Amino acid sequence: LLNPDSVPALDNVPAECQKFADEKEASFVAHSYITGYANYTYDEALKKLLPEGVEAPASFETVGHIAHLNLRTPHEPYRLLIAQVMVDKYPAIKTVVHKTGSITNEFRVFSMEVLADKMTKGAVPRLALAGDMALEASLKQSGCAFKLNFGDVYWNSRLEGEHSRLVASFCPGDVVWDLMAGIGPFAVPAAKIHRCVVEANDLN
């Protein structure tokens, strides 16, 4: 009832609400109130700010304090706006990046553009270069703590369920060979939590 888009006037009160009020011998009274950017969620703010027909990105990956977006063509002109709203509305997010290329090398890393940077307060947008400090992230998975630079190594938070499922199948004393181990989402918990014998390597 407090949403002016849904109930712009007293004549638009839903019938079931009006019926309830009548049964209780109550009535509705119009009040004016002022809302601003601070009152809106991420989705609500972008609905107000983006042109009609351009929807807010519905999903994104998080890597520690980093939000990783795969923006579509209609989003491109508004990518900085989207990133700013994201860091404003999600307190845990300090850096927003947008994937600009696919994985084409043996290191399994891709080119990305930094769209928001509350960590180092560097200029945006900018191409993420090796060692970019805004991409230094810390996170926990499978009972282990990891620290990584998202621009230098391969990491996919969406694989956490698969990592946990496979690691849970290991038994103490198992010998685990992990080729292309990345920073060790399989190898580290296998050794630390499940006391396996682990051989793991990767190029980066």
CA distance 183 to 107: 12
Distances (CA, A) of 87 to 18, 82, 152, 153: 40, 9, 23, 23
15-19, 85-89, 126-130, 174-178: least confident range: 15-19
**Residue 28 clears pLDDT 60, i.e. is over it:** yes
Phi-psi label, residue 25: left if phi above 0, alpha if psi -120 to 50, beta otherwise: left
pLDDT tens-digit readout, 32-42: 778 889 999 99
Strand partners, 138: 147
How much is the pLDDT for 121?
Answer: 94
pLDDT tens-digit readout, 106-155: 888 889 999 999 999 999 999 998 899 999 999 999 999 999 999 999 89
**Residue 1 clears pLDDT 60, i.e. is over it:** no
List of residues 6+ apart from 15 with CB closer than 8 A: none
CA distance 190 to 176: 8
pLDDT tens-digit readout, 147-177: 999 999 989 888 899 989 999 999 999 999 9
